[in-house]
Amino acid sequence: MKNLTNIAFLAKGKRSLVFTASYKNKLVAIKVKKKSSKAINRLENEAKFLKILNKYKIGPRLIKQGKDYIVYEFVKGKPILEYKKNLKKIVLNVLDQCFVLDKLKINKLEMHHPVKHIIIDKYPVLIDFERCYYTKNPKNVTQFCQFLMNINPKLNKKLLIKTLKTYKSEQSKKNLNQIKKILNPS
């Protein structure tokens, strides 16, 4: 890991350790596989999906990868539940990102409880893609809406669930817009 300076421990996850560092005058995150982890190819998987999703401006920008580590742009900001400004705009942006994932047939996982997986500064950034996989039936939009229903008792859950069932049968922009209307009535 050449050219990395000011390396500092940030966090510990189930399968990896995360550090911050300086790289070419930018703050980066370094995710390193824990020696005790039995998980196979999780960081390689995350790098693979970040390469794909970065083309759609989803996820932190992947900078480099190596054996048992990846380096990506550090995402400054707050976790979604700590962020208080422009929440409707944030929710709609996350829904758009989830829709792109659904259209690419990529399931991110954790979107039903993404409290550590959505970091917000000016806009939301999805992080932690190590468990992503391709599937015929991705559930990113529906899982994120499940999360919204759990944290917002004011939502019309009956109408939202009905609309989500329609979306699930046809993941179209039209059906996504129906979901957005329920979440952001004009």
Q: What are phi and psi of 49, to 5 degrees?
A: -75, -35
pLDDT at 37 over 90: no
> At CA 127, angle to CA 124 and CA 131, rounded to 5?
140
Contact assessment for residue 20 and residue 7, using Cβ atoms and an 8 Å cutoff: yes
More confident of the two residues 103 and 33: 103
Residue matched to tokens 């083309």: 55
pLDDT at 186 over 60: no
- % of the chain beyond a pLDDT of 70: 98
Alpha carbon separation from 157 to 56, 96, 118, 150 (Å, rounded): 30, 20, 23, 10
pLDDT at 17 over 70: yes
Confidence of residue 77 (pLDDT cuts 50, 70, 90): very high
